[in-house]
Structure 1
Amino acid sequence: MDLSLSPETTKLLAELREWSLSELRPFAREADRTHSVPEGAVRALATCPVQTSPFGGRVEYPRRTDPSFVASESDGSYVLSYAVAEEMVYGDVLALVITKGNGIGGKVVNLMGNDEQIERWAGGMDRGEFHYSGFALTEPHCGSDAAALRTTAVRDGDHYVINGHKQFCTGGSISDFVVVFATVDPEQGSRGIRGFVVPKDTPGFNVVRANESKLGSRVFSTSELGLENLVVPAENMLGWPNPDAAGFVKAMETLNSTRGSVASMATGLAQAAVDEAASYLAKNRTAFSVARAARFNDELDRMNTALTTNRHLARRVAWRVDQGLPHASHASMAKAYAPQVAERVVARVLQLMGPDGYSEDCLVEKWHRDLKIQDIWEGTGNIQRIVISRSLGSGEYQPA
């Protein structure tokens, strides 16, 4: 495995970090307070070196860098997109909401859809015809045990009629289309679950709550949806007319290729906090005794080492995806480890900075709140540890 990055990619990432710091971070507090995207942040996107969301495994680049830029062989599309995710959130998580091609819905279509569906929906995301796509899986009574969902899809001629209730749907209220998971046969359990592309203007698609009042990452729209006699064409079932190959298991495979990007985002937020602490120490050096300053520096060194481990775990996942190698257990390792390490790092930064760290005059307290969801969404850390233990027991895990 070559986990190094080419000079061209390194240059692009440096430009992206500078942009996220100078153009995006000034809007971070406003986005947190209003639970929405500030207009200034939308305008700032015009100068961003990267024009598409890194979640899709591909990155449209660059505007300010050399237009002939080509990633090296070691910088595959997922390696690059994970690295981009880290640098974008270094400024603030707001970055992942404003870029083109947002939302996991388009990614799901790419993995589960037929050629026509991929061209229409996922291709529309790439072309900028759609800005955001949602993913409706979780329901009020089930989260990690998603196979227990109760939303139904009943065949009616050339259509399906969908009824149910969804919660914590990322992008549900702002998406151009949402991939809704429903069961066509409850007796089949997870094997009866199918994904349906539902355009936002479909009658019966009701936004019960546009955005939950959350601890952190408030700029992300996480919606509650009511689906009442919602009618969609049969060809909107992903994988149609052979949907058996695109059911619930495929939906979970979708998350395997994006879980590493969550590890990258957690690392980016924690790195921002560590760098803020280093700057704080430098500016307030006279307020620290020699021994206390040395302890402060020692802890920062340990934190940076831990974040380097995070980064390598995520990059290993990306490399394996790019190489077409099995990566489910590797993705679970990155997802189980990185967010919790990042959360502990930022919590310790808060303690080291004292009252200044807890103040809203400093973004560290916001990043502490933003980080919590990284351990929860796209498969909780606890669930990932179950996946890891099973892979070790079955011999599926490959160390390299």
Structure 2
Amino acid sequence: MERGLYTRDHDAFRATVRKFVEREVTPNHQKWEEQRLVDRELWRVAARQGIIGLAVPEEYGGGGESDIRFRAVVMEELASTSAASVQLGFSLTEDIAMPYFLDLTSEEQKRRWLPGLAAGESISAIAMTEPDAGSDLQGMRTTAVRDGDHWLLNGAKTFITNGIQADLVIVAARTDPAAGSRGISLFVVERDTPGFSRGRKLEKIGLHGQDTAELFFRDARVPAANLLGELGGGLRHLLQRLPRERLAIAMSAQAAAEAAFGWTLEYVRQRKAFGRPVAEFQNTAFTLAELRTELDVSQAFIDRAMLALNANQLTVEDAAKAKWWATELQQRVADRGLQLHGGYGYMLEYPIARAFLDGRVQSIYGGTTEIMKEIISRQLITPS
């Protein structure tokens, strides 16, 4: 189905990204999965080719391009080679952390942090989740207490994407425990901050090349100049940027589902059983028809959401719809695709097996499917 979403500029950019993936990602992906870490040099190479740092203004060394469709192109090309760990690492910086650095920083902070992010020299992370506080952001216990020209941070964060490699970590902490939701602030904690340490690199069922870690703050001395946004405005800052984060997750899920469908279609066309291609059996054909329809309908909604984001019109509810639907669809496509591969689908040498494992977390982070449904239903029941 012709989408009509992309322009010639996007097509030209896709050619650049495709060459980058073929040259830099595909030959090294298995190594990164085995070493449980993507080489830092990949960020630098991607930056030199204009693949990351897209939204950073040109005066700070970036591409000056905020159109999210360019990010969709990167996601689609990485998905085609099953490089989910690379995609998540890039997306954490480009789609999740970068809006904070662009929107909430002072001029002095921009000049300190944006050039490194644009050049791929600095890797970023965002630390919200705690051992006892996931989707419930108001339950966080990490604290920050003013001490002269610094803040002392104490607490722990977990499940932090890019946690091992991050040079700049956006940390949410309570600055006024008595103020409830208005007592949370954001800080940028730099790699060499005294009192900041990293725990173990967490072992996951999928996304093995992506470094997910625990972070610890024990009287971590963060300069007062590293306060991000307004004091006490942290929760508001987080909630304002969650729709962009959730749409990005939906986009990556859609791209991954499309890739999984493509691998499955190719396999069942070639694989024979009882003297004919597996694709010709009615059960297979009907499954393919169902998935193709769901993918097309889902893509149309996500395309509309991307254009809405570009126009600053994406609603919280539509972002939630896109996120839960696309991530659950990704799992259905991977599951049914694995089934149609038969025993070979269970072998990690086939990309469908990796897709099955890598995609499971998509309906959890960024707000679970259940939280997304809560957001949507709340607006239906008590519209503003």
1:332-351 to 2 correspondence within 5 Å? 332-351=320-339
Q: CA deviation at 1:390?
A: 1.7
> Could you say what secondary structure the match of 1:173 adopts?
coil
Q: CA deviation at 1:312?
A: 2.4
Mapped pair 1:20 → 2:14: no
* Counterpart residue number, 1:87: 77
Work out which of the residue numbers 230, 234, 237 in structure 2 matches 1:250: 237
Q: Return the letter of the residue paired with 1:366.
A: R
Consecutive unaligned residues of structure 2, counting only runs of 5 or more, are none
Measured in 2, the distance between the counterparts of 1:215 and 1:59 equals 37
Structure 1, 296-305 or 221-230: larger mean CA deviation: 296-305
Q: Is the 8 A contact 2:52 2:120 kept in 1?
A: no
Work out which of the residue numbers 209, 213, 224 in structure 2 matches 1:234: 224
* Counterpart residue number, 1:393: 381
> Could you say what secondary structure the match of 2:238 adopts?
helix
Work out which of the residue numbers 215, 230, 237 in structure 2 matches 1:225: 215
Q: CA deviation at 1:38?
A: 5.8
Work out which of the residue numbers 265, 269, 280 in structure 2 matches 1:293: 280
**1:301–1:59 Cα change, 3 Å:** farther
Q: CA deviation at 1:102?
A: 3.2
Q: Return the letter of the residue paired with 1:251.
A: L
Q: Is the 8 A contact 1:350 1:357 kept in 2?
A: yes
Q: CA deviation at 1:128?
A: 3.8
Q: CA deviation at 1:329?
A: 1.2
Q: Is the 8 A contact 2:43 2:120 kept in 1?
A: no
**1:301–1:48 Cα change, 3 Å:** farther
* Counterpart residue number, 1:279: 266
Work out which of the residue numbers 179, 183, 186 in structure 1 matches 2:170: 179
Mapped pair 1:379 → 2:373: no
Mapped pair 1:52 → 2:52: yes
Q: CA deviation at 1:158?
A: 1.9
* Counterpart residue number, 1:153: 144
TM-score in terms of structure 1 length: 0.83
Measured in 2, the distance between the counterparts of 1:47 and 1:147 equals 36
Measured in 2, the distance between the counterparts of 1:288 and 1:141 equals 56
Q: Is the 8 A contact 1:160 1:232 kept in 2?
A: yes
**1:336–1:297 Cα change, 3 Å:** same
> Could you say what secondary structure the match of 2:93 adopts?
coil
**1:136–1:9 Cα change, 3 Å:** same
Q: Return the letter of the residue paired with 1:237.
A: L
Work out which of the residue numbers 344, 361, 369 in structure 2 matches 1:356: 344
* Counterpart residue number, 1:113: 105
> Could you say what secondary structure the match of 2:294 adopts?
helix
Cα displacement string for residues 25-80 of structure 1 (whole angstroms, at most 9, x for unaligned residues): 344433333312269x9499569965216xx75799xxxxxxxx999xxxx61133
**1:253–1:395 Cα change, 3 Å:** same
**1:197–1:17 Cα change, 3 Å:** same
Measured in 1, the distance between the counterparts of 2:26 and 2:107 equals 39
Q: Is the 8 A contact 1:17 1:90 kept in 2?
A: no
Q: Return the letter of the residue paired with 1:89.
A: A
Measured in 1, the distance between the counterparts of 2:259 and 2:138 equals 37
**1:46–1:382 Cα change, 3 Å:** closer
Measured in 1, the distance between the counterparts of 2:64 and 2:57 equals 11
Mapped pair 1:194 → 2:196: no
Work out which of the residue numbers 265, 274, 277 in structure 1 matches 2:252: 265
Q: Return the letter of the residue paired with 2:352.
A: V
* Counterpart residue number, 1:122: 114
> Could you say what secondary structure the match of 2:72 adopts?
helix
TM-score in terms of structure 2 length: 0.87
> Could you say what secondary structure the match of 2:158 adopts?
strand
Q: Is the 8 A contact 1:193 1:247 kept in 2?
A: yes
Measured in 1, the distance between the counterparts of 2:317 and 2:169 equals 28
Mapped pair 1:34 → 2:25: no
Q: Report how many residues are paired.
A: 375
**1:316–1:395 Cα change, 3 Å:** farther
Measured in 1, the distance between the counterparts of 2:360 and 2:115 equals 32
Measured in 1, the distance between the counterparts of 2:48 and 2:91 equals 11
Measured in 2, the distance between the counterparts of 1:350 and 1:21 equals 25
Measured in 2, the distance between the counterparts of 1:162 and 1:32 equals 33
Q: CA deviation at 1:17?
A: 4.5
Q: Is the 8 A contact 2:206 2:354 kept in 1?
A: yes
Consecutive unaligned residues of structure 1, counting only runs of 5 or more, are 61-68
* Counterpart residue number, 2:7: 6
Q: Return the letter of the residue paired with 1:51.
A: I
